[in-house]
Structure 1
């Protein structure tokens, strides 16, 4: 319940911004208020800003009422800079426009486009943006710039500070400045004369103060995101250059980045990497220094991994066995070099190898330019942070700190850090990092549940800050931003004079201290020990979650309701309230509120698991909750359906036939409006009809004339395809069953059907709803039938639906060779067919199941055999139809496919996938007739 000024703010802001974007309830403020850090503040109001007007109106009103505001992009920041106990502005995921200059020298980006998406747009021109944080697939440009995030290769030469060209900024009072527009700058100077004069004065005073100027210059020779970018006052004379460079790395405390234009950098296509193992840390660090200071070699990245880092990943799948042979001192450097040409790359690798020959290594130095080989090296490096998260005790958090030493101090600083781990009992702590820049990350687990543990953490941090900032004059934050966990130590690093300058800058940009207070500037010397985030156990399926947010871009419900991170955060809070018996009523109310956002609109596609650093499948958690909610009556009904499956399919056919008869009588327009009103009257309990609803289909395998051949295949047509045919208006009216048989015949196969086909099902319709018992019964029944049909696994099995195939692979215990359409086509059909490509573009959609089976690239390869122009919509991962869920929750399908039409060029008519229900959803939202890829393969083949 809002009170006082917050209630007044709410009453006024809903006049400017639609209510659906504003949240004040306990569930959503908790879930949306969580970021990747180990701090927690719960905002009173969360607003999803769709465009600049929203931000301006919020800031004007917040300034008037003196209410603090925090900006949030992807929430992947690790230092507590994107949380608030007041008003949190979350940038909409759809606020992600971009434009590339004609000469490709710059790219203009809106705040919510991810770094990976920006690089994909630039890739055809062999360009990229400079910043390359490890979170680039999830991190948004607004956050990358606001934190001056860097990464493995960009160092200090290509970070946001060095590559920003211009910026559009919204200030605390709603003023919008475009630093690329002369008129905008003139208006700003006229209306903010005092501001501009003061900023110029600060710059002049710094330039006149030789000691301070020297200190600033020296500190920014290495990576540094601790405090404000004071180098802007030294590096530039123009007030707008100074201003926009101060915004970089300001973590939302000085203004909101509405848009940024980056200078692009070259992305050389030729790469080679070597994983070099040194006898000890000192030897490895000395090698780094020599690589850094040498003028004879070109290195783009040098990643250090200490012995504990290597041991943390040695047992993971795909890791080389030799990692287990090393002693406790071996330290690795992952070295990458890039070049425009292969010959130049060869020269560079030779020069680096010669330079390293004077150092003691455990294995021979060997570079590889083979992608599959150097990807393994980078897999080792990228697996370090999640490796710690995966083995931590439930209830503890993973902390990753981020410091930098001058390169000449790297060896000594690293060794002393390792001594501090021992002193304070962090025996599992490991070190890795961007060694070429003297930038080290150290990762350890921390329990904040007891006073003693908090005191241990405090003592450790005080020793670390003294070591880095005082003894070695390094950076307490190299690339993760100051946030809350280092704000108390900014003055320690910078000294009284520089810190006062930072406070003056903050007051100049934000006179009422409403922009993200407590971040960067915080005089509370114990700020790093307050508002610590609890991570209570909720379910073993998700307890290892570190709430990083890497999953969110892949979730089909990420703008409609919750993401996997939100679901886990809410689940943890519900469990905490229950377990601690603090407030059972609150827990119950929270659980009820969670139903729609957390359970009903989860597609259970499990794509989240494919990008989760610790492999968490939140879809499994949702299925667990659905199982818990099953009543005895529902359980009995599921058993009746399972035991009478052929009758169930007849009922489905009857429903489809009836719907299509009414459609024929009423026409599409009348049918759509009538069924929409019927759904509204029922409180959305009646499934939504659509023009792409299939006609009824019945498979009669007894009518099929089977040929005899030495090549045999068992064809299992899924229950979906056995009951659903083509839609009424689809130009392709042949059934998938008949099309598949025609293809198999062309390829010379003898087709075998399992007995009692009409009653067979993989079990997925049951398992997705939580009916585990019935799902297993149907799966076991199908497996037995296929064992007989395949002659105990002698013949391959083709299933015409990808999700069903994946379910069978996961459930079966026998050695049956199972194929879905993509893999079967490439391995068993294409070699036996003469193919002529269609002379028109096609669009394809890889289902979630196919992606998880590693078939996305194979689907593209298959499509390229059938057409010279294949469109793969980048922003569409899961269609959101989720089996039959799209009929009852069409908003999930609509949300997941909101960018589909933008990605399909005008004139495209042919669209394909490998799952009937996905094809229904895709057809609904695109207006195209999506069909199985088998139709196109059949059309193109002889």
Structure 2
């Protein structure tokens, strides 16, 4: 039961919001209430809003019931500004609007658009948004604007405040204002004249006080997100302009941003990067000051401890391990509108660098891949330190700014403070060109002594930044709860008084995100601290940053990877302490579905995680731990009788196909769903694009082992997957040839002799068993396959090709013998067949699905290239990552597949007749949710190609479906 007044609020919200968007269960309120900070508050209600009208009605109800409310976008925030123990409002799926007018001088974005997505849409115009936080691949526009996030290159000139054109906002009283619409402004002037007069009066008083006005201007000459954007009071006179600029950086304490229009900035395609090494931090900072007037785009400082945290990681030079104890690095980026401009800028910056003492000759590279690897390491420093922390501690990142001419002095003092307070693992890095430093350290909050150590350290840091250097306590991460008690210390009582007046004007009841930015409790930063107990070695390094979330197919349906880890941590904590059995039981019950059943275990989260955490491995481990003796025995039986199990599957497909042909699709599907519901979802869901059965058997003359290949007739060992050997095309697919027959014919067309391993009908890579948590049985099957393909390839002489990407990926990971060439089908076509075939491009568009395993193997570019050889237009739907079919989830948990592909159809181009991929099970769900038949890309290659040389003869005229 919800306490009053939340029970009344919940009942009122249900009148216009569906139950599934009003979350009150203990697992999801915990998980959804978590952000990237080190604070933990659990909301009473999580309301997932889909429209402005819902926000208006919600705010009116909260005001009526005097209930605090906090807004959240992506939750990558680091200072505690997006957590609450009251009502948390999350953006639903509908806030992803992006409008680019001709010329792209501006862009209008809804708050749910991810920053990197906005830049991808602007890229064809050579433009981008100004803010560029390190979290831009996850952070959403709502949070970027509400926190005035900046980043590596935007400095103070291109942040949200400086590039704002207009916005739509909802005030605490539920009033909607569109600052870009004259009629809306006129109506607002009538309804809220007193508010606008109050803002005008504040601005006039501020500008009239020369000393105060000058202090405000000086404070914003360096990065500053401490408190409200008081520069709006001196930069503007028109009250609506003041209002909308006050909203920037207000962290949801003044209103809700429902849309923002940015003035875009140029995105120069020509870039060069250099990683410069210096003997000490002082010389590095001297170099930064010299580079400030030059045409340099970004200069990122990394101290020796930072470099030590990433030694040996991909992309980092080998010499880093041999650097001295005081060495520091600068990552420098230079841009130009064309190659000539870039060269000129490099020359100008290099001339300045030549005046400094580098440990190695400076070298700029225009190699995009190398430059990207440098930046990936820099962006991953924060999580990298978090990953190395002691289990049970949390990682804290602070964010300060100093006057540039005192940066070296201040940095050395910070390093000394780390040692004084026992933070020997702390690192310093940051946007040195702006005097902006981040320092990261690990902290336990499990004892009073540890909390006191943190308090004393933060008091010392604030004293140094404010009293000695007059810097910013928060440069770009937002004030939040973390720095709210120190806002008055930084700004002084007069400026702090202005902030309180602003809050009173716009939120007189103090209901919008209370305790954030303004907080009268001097110890607010020491309360509600997040515990990080051990949960499982596979995920204990997670810092809950949320970078993984956009990749996850179940995000916004049940839980994201971050949220699965949060939930499992709480379950583990309760199990370890033996406390609150009722809460533990409720969490376990909810986690079975929310955490385990709906996890696709696709592993894409690891590609976004800076430290490579694969949450699906945790879920597989949990599944395995829960398998009883009987389940383990059944798994072993299936592994030892693979051919028989596939025969049963074919029989099931045959019966389902017979029912559909006899009763018709609609009647049969309706009957199947009724039976599924009656049995409590124990029977599988049967998609409309259900495959017909097939039973591929190699021709007798296809030898089990590869002869030594000749120059004219090389040999390839082909291993059709379990699904390829049992699942043929769907009944309604115009293409009737089973995949293995098509692959065999294509290889022969390209002049290859095709060989197969012995006992093919019994072979399996183990993927289906692994996904069920049956690791031992899965590995045994993989070993069996490795032995068979080793023999078939004449001890590694011939390449081995698998036709299903998850199988290719699993076997590649499992291989221990580097002499065996295992290739995915896409990889083999790209590397070996494109030059052996003539291609005629089709004019109809091709829709391409890049499977999770294709992406994780790094084959997405090759797959696009193969498709481009076959068609003039290749479309990869931008909002589709993992399809959510996940082997058999499309049969057992079809709602996951539907959720993952909910945006697929909008990106299907007119005229497209088929989609292509390289996983048969993925293609089932893609066909169901797109309206197009999806097939292996082999069908496309075969249809668009002819042999360059005489093809190897095939004795297989055709292959029946069953």
TM-score (norm 2): 0.96
Residue range with higher mean Cα deviation, 633-642 or 793-802:
633-642
Supply the distance in 1 between the matched residues of 2:775 and 2:304 (Cα, whole angstroms).
44
- 2:287 and 2:632 mapped to 1: Cα distance? 65
Query: Residue 146 of structure 1: CA displacement?
Result: 0.1
Listed as ranges, the matches of 1:281-430 within 5 Å are 281-292=281-292, 294=293, 297-430=294-427
Which residue of structure 1 aligns with residue 959 of structure 2?
A: none
1:854-910 C-alpha deviation (Å, 9 max, x unpaired): 111121122111112110111111000000111111100010011111111222112
Hey, what's the Cα distance between the residues in 1 that align with 2:155 and 2:174? 34
- DSSP 3-state at the match of 2:5: helix
Question: Are the equivalent residues in 1 in contact too, given 2:702–2:755 (CA < 8 A)?
Answer: no
Question: Alignment partner for residue 840 of structure 2, among 812, 836, 840?
Answer: 836
Instruction: Please name the residue that 1:855 is paired with.
Output: 859
Moved more, 634-643 or 255-264: 634-643
| CA drift at 1:703 | 5.2
Superposed, 1:872-883 pairs within 5 Å as 872-883=876-887
- State the distance in 1 between where 2:25 and 2:748 align: 60
- Are 1:59 and 1:173, in contact at CA under 8 Å, matched by a contact in 2? yes
The 5 Å alignment of 1:78-93 reads 78-93=78-93
- Paired with 2:364 and 2:812, the residues of 1 have a C-alpha distance of 38
Instruction: Specify the SS of the correspondent of 1:701.
Output: coil
Equivalence for 1:457: 454
- Matches of 1:629 and 1:365, distance apart in 2: 56
The answer on 1:577 being equivalent to 2:574 is: yes
State the alpha-carbon separation in 2 of the partners of residues 309 and 354 from structure 1.
27
**1:793 corresponds to which of 779, 783, 796:** 796
Determine if contact 2:552/2:604 at 8 Å carries over to the other structure: yes
User: Do 2:226 and 2:479's aligned partners in 1 also have CA atoms closer than 8 Å?
Assistant: yes
832-841 vs 75-84, greater mean Cα deviation: 832-841
- Deviation by residue 1:415-468 (Cα, 9 ceiling, x = unmatched): 111121121111111111001111000111111111111111111111111111
Equivalent residues of 2:687, 2:925 under 8 A apart: no
Deviation at 1:571, TM superposition (A): 0.3
**Distance in 1 of aligned mates of 2:418 and 2:938:** 59
CA distance in 1, matches of 2:101, 2:250: 27
Deviates more, 1:72-81 or 1:620-629: 620-629
Question: 2:168 touches 2:177 (CA, 8 Å); kept in 1?
Answer: yes
1:590-645 CA distance string (max 9 Å, x none): 11111100000000001000110121110000101111121222222222222222
CA distance in 2, matches of 1:528, 1:621: 32
**Shift, 1:143, TM fit:** 0.2
Q: Unpaired segments of 5 or more residues in structure 1? A: none
- Please state if 1:783 is matched with 2:786: yes
**Partners in 1 of 2:301 and 2:147 — Cα distance?**
23
1:546 deviation in Å? Answer: 0.2
* Distance in 2, Cα, partners of 1:108 & 1:90: 20
Distance 1:765 1:291 in 2: 56
Query: Could you tell me how far 1:308 is from its partner in structure 2?
Result: 1.2
Asked whether the 8 Å contact 1:536–1:572 carries over to 2, the reply is yes
Return the match for 1:744 from 739, 747, 757: 747
Residues in 2 aligned to 1:38 and 1:105: alpha-carbon distance in whole angstroms: 38
C-alpha distance after superposition, 1:226-255 (max 9, x if no partner): 000000010001111000000000000000
Which residue in the other structure is 1:57 paired with? 57
**1:244 matched residue in structure 2:** 244
User: SS at the partner of 1:4?
Assistant: coil
Of 770, 774, 787, the residue aligned with 2:773 is 770
Higher mean displacement: 310-319 or 752-761 = 310-319
Residue 932 of structure 1 corresponds to 936
Q: Per-residue displacement from partner, 1:687-727 (whole Å, max 9, x unpaired)?
A: 11222001000112135667985211111110101001000
The answer to whether 1:898 aligns with 2:902 is: yes
In structure 2, what is the Cα distance between the partners aligned to 1:886 and 1:385?
Answer: 37
Shift of 1:558: 0.5
1:583 is displaced (CA, Å) by 2.1
Give the corresponding residue for 1:508: 505
Q: CA deviation at 1:589?
A: 2.5
Is 1:488 matched with 2:485?
yes
- 8 Å CA contact 1:93, 1:113 repeated in 2: no
Give the equivalent residue in structure 2 for 1:192.
192
| Matched position secondary structure for 2:546 | coil
Q: In the TM superposition, what is the alpha-carbon distance from 1:852 to its structure 2 partner?
A: 0.7
CA contact under 8 A between 1:27 and 1:570: conserved in structure 2?
yes
Contact 2:397-2:438 at 8 Å conserved across structures: yes
Preserved contact between residue 119 and residue 128 of structure 2 (Cα < 8 Å): yes
Describe the SS at the equivalent of 1:40: coil
Provide the rounded CA distance (Å) in 2 between the counterparts of 1:937 and 1:99.
37
CA contact (8 A) 2:870 2:941 kept: yes
* Residue in structure 2 matched with residue 115 of structure 1 by the alignment: 115
Task: Provide, for residues 374-394 of structure 1, a one-character-per-residue CA deviation record: whole Å limited to 9, x for no partner.
Answer: 223223322321221121100
- 1:243-272 deviations in Å (ceiling 9; x for gaps): 000000000000000000001100011111
Supply the distance in 1 between the matched residues of 2:577 and 2:826 (Cα, whole angstroms): 50
Would the aligned equivalents of 2:305 and 2:427 in 1 still touch at CA under 8 Å?
yes
- SS of the aligned residue for 1:866 comes to coil
1:730 is aligned to: 733
The aligned residue for residue 888 of structure 2 is: 884
What is the alpha-carbon distance in structure 1 between the residues aligned to residue 438 and residue 638 of structure 2? Answer: 55
* Matched residue, 2:757: 754
- Write the deviation string for residues 760-803 of structure 1: whole angstroms up to 9, x where unpaired: 11111111001122212211221111121112212111111010
Distance in 1 of aligned mates of 2:311 and 2:568: 32
Say which is worse superposed, 577-586 or 397-406, in terms of deviation.
577-586
Kept in 1, the 8 Å contact 2:51–2:94? The answer is no
**SS class of match (1:676):** helix
How many residues are paired up?
A: 939
CA deviations on 1:648-691 (whole Å, 9 max, x unpaired) are 11111111111111111111222232223332333322211222
Q: Distance in 2 between matches of 1:244 and 1:733?
A: 60
Q: Shift of residue 581 of structure 1? A: 1.4
Contact 1:763 1:779 in 2 (8 A): yes
- What is the aligned partner in structure 1 of residue 226 from structure 2? 226
Counterpart for residue 164 of structure 2: 164
Residues 315 and 374, structure 2, Cα contact 8 Å, conserved in 1:
no
Alignment of 1:911-930 (within 5 A): 911-930=915-934
**Higher mean C-alpha deviation, range 817-826 or range 93-102:** 93-102
Aligned equivalents of 2:18, 2:512: Cα separation in 1: 23
Q: Find the residue that maps to 2:430 and give its secondary structure.
A: strand
Distance 1:272 1:813 in 2: 38
Contact in 2 for aligned 1:314/1:323 (Cα 8 Å): yes
Write the distance in 2 (CA, Å) between the matches of 1:670 and 1:907.
30
Name the structure 1 match of 2:955: none
Q: What is the CA–CA distance in structure 1 between the aligned matches of 2:621 and 2:610, rounded to whole Å?
A: 22
Q: Which one of 616, 638, 641 corresponds to residue 635 of structure 2?
A: 638
Matching residue within 605, 609, 632 for 1:608: 605
* 1:519 partner SS: coil
Residue 46 of structure 1 contacts residue 88 of structure 1 at CA under 8 Å; is this kept in 2?
yes
* Residue deviations 1:37-90 (CA, integer Å, cap 9, x gap): 000101011111112122111111000000000000000000000000000001
Q: Distance in 1 between matches of 2:60 and 2:560?
A: 30
Deviation digits for residues 315-341 of structure 1, max 9, x if unmatched?
Answer: 223421111121111111111111111
- Contact 1:169 1:176 (8 Å CA) reproduced: yes
Asked if the contact 2:917/2:934 (under 8 Å) is kept, the reply is: yes
Q: Whole-Å Cα distance in 1 between the matches of residues 453 and 641 of structure 2?
A: 63
Measure the CA separation in 2 of the matches of 1:834 and 1:656: 37
How far 1:179 moved relative to its partner?
0.3
Indicate conservation of the 8 Å contact 1:821/1:933, yes or no.
Answer: no
Q: 1:712 aligns with which of 708, 711, 715?
A: 715
Gap change, CA 1:662 and 1:703, over 3 Å in 2: farther
